[in-house]
Amino acid sequence: MLEVLRLGHRAGRDDRISTHVGLTARQWGADKVTYAGEYDSSMMESLENVIGRWGGSMGVEYEEEWYRHLKAFDGLKIHLTMYGESVGKKLPEIEEELDEDIMVVVGAEKVPRKVYTEVDYNIGVGHQPHSEIAALAVFLDRLRGLKNNFSGAEVEVEPSEQSKLTREK
Amino acid sequence: MLEVLRLGHRAGRDDRISTHVGLTARQWGADKVTYAGEYDSSMMESLENVIGRWGGSMGVEYEEEWYRHLKAFDGLKIHLTMYGESVGKKLPEIEEELDEDIMVVVGAEKVPRKVYTEVDYNIGVGHQPHSEIAALAVFLDRLRGLKNNFSGAEVEVEPSEQSKLTREK
């Protein structure tokens, strides 16, 4: 089970970034995305609408008590941060330790210190100011690659050289 | 020379997404990011401030006549879109054709049809609704990997297991 925990959502200011975090989690095979911070039903609904139409079964949840949720998670916990150890250096070790259950934590601008000490790994996808969306995508891409099958889709893309083709299913 | 062309920026609505596109372009080694759509000096300045402090020499430009700019680009032009051909399938071909000059085009929600026909490749990093930030990051990560050297930085991260360490240079 792969869960993505998105910390510190601020309604309004972060809605598109948090939606992109959810779409990224889904495309790289997360089973669940959990949002913490401000409760934002419209952001979560827009993500659920994508899942309804495009398939798959990723759960979308909100967790007010996010720190308790993080602590209680029984599996490998990885926080993506520019201050962490290099993904290139640590990935082999993470792959060896891979549990059935993985939680990948991505923050908004300010992540509390206790997150750094609670997780098993703080990993930097680069050590530059960066996008948590980019970090999440590249980390999951290197770890697992893209997910290809989204069961129960109403529609799918017909990949093409120059056109925008979809087919209803 | 690697240029990232970000189409269709809308001031206000897209500022954080477009900033993340710029940070992603920088981290994966773009020499220039060009914004089209609405002119947004504050978004571009926030990116320039990062470059000033964290180093590197990526250019940040605005192009009102973006289609002329796209047409005039003399190199390999790749548009990232969920409707395109699979990145896994086409990457070997792209690597063979790699020019010294590459332009990677990412859109906002609606990309005009003429972009699809003007570029050399329309490439899908997955064929699901997705984040252009995630698509850009993973495409560049697979093509070139992370950039490690940012010359002229005032500050850099000291990667660490559990801390947030930086050093002034």
Which of the four pLDDT bands, split at 50, 70 and 90, describes residue A40? very high
Residue B96: what are its φ and ψ, rounded to 5°? -70, -35
Nearest CA distance, A74 vs chain B (angstrom): 20
Residue A32: what are its φ and ψ, rounded to 5°? -155, 140
**Residue in A closest to B127 by C-alpha:** A157
pTM over 0.95: yes
Closest among B109, B137, B14, B30 to A133, alpha carbons compared: B137
Residue with tokens 């259950």: A101
pLDDT tens-digit readout, A58-111:
999 999 999 999 999 999 999 999 999 999 999 999 999 887 899 999 998 789
pLDDT tens-digit readout, B77-105:
999 999 999 999 999 999 998 878 999 99
Closest among A103, A146, A147, A142 to A121, alpha carbons compared: A103
Task: Say yes or no for a CB contact (<8 Å) between A134 and B24.
Answer: yes
Task: Say yes or no for a CB contact (<8 Å) between A23 and B116.
Answer: no
Buried b (16+ CB within 10 A) or exposed e, A106-143: bbbeebeeebbebbebbbbbbbbbbbbbbbbbbbbbbb
Structure tokens at A24: 């990224």
Q: Look up the ipTM and state it.
A: 0.97
- Give the best residue of A131, A154, A158, A164 to mutate against chain B (max B CB count within 10 A): A131
A&B contacts, CB < 8 Å: 142
